[in-house]
Structure 1
Amino acid sequence: MTINKARLAVALSSLMLAGTVQAKEKLYLFNWTEYMDPEIISAFEDKYDVDVVQNYFNSNGEMFAKLNSGGASQYDIIVPSHYFVPRLIDTGLVQALNVEQLDNIDNVMEQFRDPAYDPGARYSVPYQWGTTGIVYNTETFPEAPSSWSLVFDPDVNAGYPFSVVTDGQVNLGSACAYLGKGFDCTEVDDWKEAARLLIETKGRKNFSGFTDGTPTLQQLARGVAHVGMSFNGDYLHFKEESPEAFRNLAFMIPEEGAEMWVDSMMIPVDAPHPELAHKFINFLLDAEVGAQLSNYNYYSSPNEAAEPYLDHVLTIPPVKPTDEEMSVLRFTPSLAGEKLQVFQQLWSEVQSR
């Protein structure tokens, strides 16, 4: 009996101990690739004794489709570009923020506190901002013009492989800019003209397809492509990591105009851990953490308090555009209703032709 009681006591003790061991809470982050410093993730996990599970997307369309197919209940934080913010709000895929849980919210720069894409910043907090331009091989094009003609004019690029990004609005905006309509064009007739140009561009033998920013840089580094569209931070990040592979590659803002964008942090409407999501946003709004993020991914910080901690390379081009470049940069416009439907029809036609 004594042995049996002892065994019973051990068994009960083990059960009680097992009952006290709980799995760590998880934060589910849905972000662009190569966009987050792993050390920031580790620091957040250590501070709050949680695990961060990261998933990635390569385009806003991919992210939006994922949320529409059930992702709004699978992720705690998403990082869309500014022109998708109104669409996410209007479709009810995101929830309003509780600013009382964001002690560091005052660190956000003034120009991002009441953005046109989210009046009052009720749903979004800026993550990073940057530009979309052309990356090209300087040996292939030693006298390349600062122009979209490197993509759209067959006389300027007669035979070298080139690509454009998968984002329809960025493509239509770039074609509009080349045609003199402005990157942020929204007139349907201008869109139709731009769509015709894109269809003609697709038909050229040296068009290598639709390729997003990071894969484009990889193709350029291997010599598979000689011209492509990518982001200033990604370009500099890869150049710093592989200087020899990027020795003959340059980033350029076309003089006709190009995209300036802001990526924001938002919380899906049915996020499994909204309080933890607020803690994560607040953590990234810390001055030193905000600087650490930019120092890692080479994009501009919307965090004013982070500026004293930024590396010098973030204060000069291509990360910080020149005054001349800033004068031609435009935000991609947010679309809704009939305008969105017309755009989607035109973009579908471009893709299918």
Structure 2
Amino acid sequence: MLKRNTSVALAVALGSLTLAGSALAEEGKLYLFNWTEYMDPEIIEAFEEKYDVEVVQNYYNSLPEMFAKLNAGGVSQYDIIVPSNYYVPRLIETGLVQKLDRSKLPNFANVREQFQDPSFDPGSAYSAPYQWGTTGIVYNTDTFPEAPKSWSLMFDPEVNGDYPFAIIGDGQVAMGGACAALGQPYDCTGLDSWREAARLMIETKNRDNFSGFTDGTPALQQLARGVTHVGMSYNGDYLYFKSEDPESFENLAFMIPDEGAEMWVDSMLIPSEAPNPDLAHKFINFILDAEVGAQLSNYNYYASPNAAAEPYLDEVLTQPPSQPSDADMERLRFTPSLAGEQLQTFQQLWSEVQAR
């Protein structure tokens, strides 16, 4: 789920979607629909060479965008999609994806035990893990040399002071943070908890130093420039930009609040009418190879769900913040998948937060 979605990437993505919509699927081609900048080009080249095929990559910048494209006929245009965990049940329930043929995925045995039977897809009937990571707080250590390991750095004006801050634009993740700040579980779903969290969000966004709803990559860019002093982002993006520009990120730190935060898993699924499902299974099995899985994580700076990949991982991926501490792991929760009336209620609350 690499969120390095700059305006250039967005333009490329939209162009790719247009092309994909007008192209007919062909044999000998794998159609991959993925987040922007979330795949090592050398992995694609190796797969193409091994199977003598062409991989056609198309991109999305948000899960709603991906979901809408599938509903508009994309189920017959793509062979692989890479959604986040809380969209997987929605894709299954709406019939947009098909079950995996595990006999074609011998490398699934490489998957860590904790990812083989996820709550969002029991028994991994439809999904195979791609990458996983966490969503936390990134802050300026010069501004907050004794920062509490807490959501209060963002939601409590007495702790934050007058320093500019941003909150992530994903409604469920943002509201999860607000729930945790109020002493509720990050993955709260009760209406009363949501209402309380929505009130906190409205109070927070109406503070003079709130700079707006800003997603992972732009949030990191604002922090690096000193436009904001606190923001929400992803551990892999943080590590990537820190490696690319260590000077600008020297005074920025990533933390998982003690009240709890998001752990997410991006998985590979096959759309229900995929043009080349056999080739899709070959691709999934290829990614689940030990060395390929490590190569993917070494490129993305996100943790690998592949136990067999461990010996090949770069050192930075074997320690925090890529690998959370045992204590932090206990505090991490999946963002819940919502459907039906519950989803509608949440969307209404989030719309109110954004409007007020």
Q: Residue 72 of structure 1: which of 62, 72, 75 is its match?
A: 75
Q: Which moved more, 1:124-133 or 1:273-282?
A: 273-282
Counterpart of 1:304 in structure 2 is: 307
Partners of 1:113 and 1:147 lie apart in 2 by 31
8 Å CA contact 1:77, 1:265 repeated in 2: yes
Partners of 1:61 and 1:261 lie apart in 2 by 16
Counterpart of 1:262 in structure 2 is: 265
Counterpart of 2:278 in structure 1 is: 275
Q: What do residues 114-159 of structure 1 show as CA deviations (whole Å, max 9, x unaligned)?
A: 2111112111001111110001111222222111112111222233
Q: Which moved more, 1:328-337 or 1:174-183?
A: 328-337
Counterpart of 1:60 in structure 2 is: 63
Q: What do residues 233-278 of structure 1 show as CA deviations (whole Å, max 9, x unaligned)?
A: 1111111121112111110111111011111111111222222211
TM-score (norm 1): 0.89
Q: Does 1:41 align with 2:44?
A: yes
What pairs with 1:142-291 in structure 2 (closer than 5 Å)?
142-291=145-294
2:290 maps to amino acid: A
Partners of 1:71 and 1:256 lie apart in 2 by 39
TM-score (norm 2): 0.89
2:194 maps to amino acid: W
Q: Does 1:293 align with 2:296?
A: yes
What pairs with 1:334-353 in structure 2 (closer than 5 Å)?
334-353=337-356
What pairs with 1:109-120 in structure 2 (closer than 5 Å)?
109-120=112-123
Q: What do residues 269-302 of structure 1 show as CA deviations (whole Å, max 9, x unaligned)?
A: 1222222211111100111101111111121111
1:65, distance to aligned residue in structure 2 (A): 2.4
Counterpart of 1:90 in structure 2 is: 93
Partners of 1:297 and 1:176 lie apart in 2 by 30
CA shift in 2, pair 1:186/1:300, >3 Å:
same
Structure 2: runs of 5+ lacking an equivalent: 1-25
Partners of 1:214 and 1:74 lie apart in 2 by 28
The runs of at least 4 aligned residues of structure 1 exceeding 3 Å deviation read none
Q: Does 1:29 align with 2:32?
A: yes
Identity %: 75
RMSD, aligned CA: 1.6
1:336, distance to aligned residue in structure 2 (A): 2.2
Q: Which moved more, 1:88-97 or 1:329-338?
A: 329-338
Indicate the structure (1 or 2) with the bigger Cα radius of gyration: 1
Q: What do residues 315-349 of structure 1 show as CA deviations (whole Å, max 9, x unaligned)?
A: 11001111221121111122223222221221121
Q: Which moved more, 1:278-287 or 1:200-209?
A: 200-209
Q: How many residue pairs end up in the alignment?
A: 331
Q: Residue 135 of structure 2: which of 127, 132, 135 is its match?
A: 132
2:319 maps to amino acid: I
